[in-house]
Amino acid sequence: MERYFTSQGHHTSSQLVLARHRILKPVLSLQDRARAEVTNGLAILANTAPAAFWVVWHVFEDRDVLDRVRQEVGRIVVVERGVGDGYGGQNSHEREGGRRNDGEGEEHREDENGDKEIRTIKLAKLKHIPLLFSLIQETLRYRACGTGPRFALEDVTLSDGFSSSYTIEKGAMLILAHEGMHHDKRVWGDDADAFVADRFVPGNKIKIPGNAFRGFGGGANMCPGKSFALHEIAALVAMLVMRVDFVPVEGSGGWSEPGMDEGNMAREHTAPKRRVLVRVVPRREVEGVVWRVG
């Protein structure tokens, strides 16, 4: 990474890497800038991709959940007519054909002026879809396999909130095992080992102590990307449920649990143990629609 910066690699990189380099250069050594770049890349990408996979998995593997998420997302979609930008699967046949019918009552959504039906998923309203946000948090709870390392700067006594307390001596290293914390029946209830999509819907469950959920860590080192990550995964899922269905490829294991690859302790979430092969099938109900997020 040091060589990357000394050979000016960052000048042909993304704006993000370049901006971070400019800001950090006056205050950090080359070695520390290189270290920061490595950990930032890991922090931004390493958890988001597998977490997004597991959220998509939990939405699509349960037909009832999928239908309910679709209904919920449908409520934050704004429908307009206008000139499409081609982003949304238009093809020349549709453009030439104008308004036409596919023979089953499904009307293609281009009017006589060439205007298309544009559906925009309103990002600002994402927080109004409680089931999807609950499902994302439940996925982060259920699938967590990372740790929160902490170094005791002074002697401290911690209570587990039930009957035990522990004296931690200054200088001790603590490794908080998120998986164990997320499956503690005393905190989460008897269904701690089950995936419950609605668990985090406000008002649905017993009040869970804030520090029991370690999906984004906690305290001073709490993940600064938390809100961004929740929204980007929600936006991805919202777009997928509106536009496509996933059909498991025959002989690939279907929607049976693929298991988690727990060989990497450095991450909060990991990839599935086996590949999940699906066919991506555009939904006929929205054929010809131009999709946007806005």
Where on the chain is the footprint of ligand HEM (CB under 6 A)? 43-44, 47-48, 51, 140, 146, 148, 215-218, 221-225, 228-229, 268-269
> What minimum distance in Å lies between the beta carbon of 139 and ligand HEM?
9
Q: Give 83's DSSP letter.
A: -
Between CA 58 and CA 65 the distance in angstroms is: 8
Between CA 78 and CA 122 the distance in angstroms is: 7
> What minimum distance in Å lies between the beta carbon of 178 and ligand HEM?
7
Between CA 292 and CA 80 the distance in angstroms is: 11
3-state DSSP assignment of residue 290:
strand
Tokens 């939904």 label which residue?
Answer: 283
Between CA 229 and CA 273 the distance in angstroms is: 23
Nearer to ligand HEM, 84 or 215 (CB): 215
Q: Give 245's DSSP letter.
A: E
Nearer to ligand HEM, 140 or 290 (CB): 140
Tokens 């959220």 label which residue?
Answer: 55
Nearer to ligand HEM, 218 or 248 (CB): 218
> What minimum distance in Å lies between the beta carbon of 105 and ligand HEM?
41
Beta bridge partners of 214: none
> What minimum distance in Å lies between the beta carbon of 214 and ligand HEM?
6
Nearer to ligand HEM, 77 or 123 (CB): 123
Q: Give first-to-last CA distance, the chain, whole Å.
A: 36
Nearer to ligand HEM, 135 or 229 (CB): 229
Nearer to ligand HEM, 77 or 239 (CB): 239
Cα dihedral 149/155/161/163 (nearest 10): 120
Instruction: Say if residue 145 carries a ligand binding annotation.
Output: no
- Under 8 Å between Cβ of 51 and 233: yes
CB atoms within 10 A of CB 49: 12
Percentages (nearest 5) of helix, strand, coil residues in the chain? 40, 15, 40
> What minimum distance in Å lies between the beta carbon of 179 and ligand HEM?
12
> What minimum distance in Å lies between the beta carbon of 42 and ligand HEM?
9
Binding residues for heme, as ranges, are 223
Binding site feature residues? 223
